[in-house]
Amino acid sequence: LHISTAGGPMICTIMTKKRPTCSTLLLASFISIMRCLSRTSAVLIWSLYAIIWDDVKIGLGSWEYIPGSYHKGISNLSARLLAFLFLFVFILNGIYVVRDDKKTSSK
């Protein structure tokens, strides 16, 4: 119900809102998902080009420990061990969830 008193007597009109159809909702969802994917891929591609690949070491070469060093000291070694521990526990959790889901869905 819409009541208007602008410029004269009170006018009452009933305004109906058109409900979106299923195809409109699907199209809006698809556009939203595509926008998110395109932005995410743009950020990933940009970050790949922004990394200075000369400083990247693959392997255990950066795990060295030099006593009394500010860059290769105990804090560097402990940070790498903690990161490895988190990755290991994350993988164990994933294995547990997959096995539990398999057991649950087989019942």
> Could you read off the pLDDT of 65-91 as tens digits, one per residue?
888 888 888 888 898 899 999 999 999
Distance CA 99, CA 91 (A): 12
- For residue 42, pLDDT beyond 70: yes
- For residue 22, pLDDT beyond 90: no
- Does the model's pTM come out above 0.75? no
Interior/surface letters 83-107, b for 16+ CB within 10 angstroms, e for the rest: eeeeeeeeeeeeeeeeeeeeeeeee
Q: How much is the pLDDT for 63?
A: 79
Distances (CA, A) of 11 to 15, 16, 18, 36: 12, 16, 22, 45
Dihedral class, residue 38 (left if φ above 0, else alpha if ψ from -120 to 50, else beta): alpha
Percentage above 90 pLDDT, the chain? 23
Q: How much is the pLDDT for 20?
A: 60
Beta strands in the chain (DSSP E): 2-4, 11-13
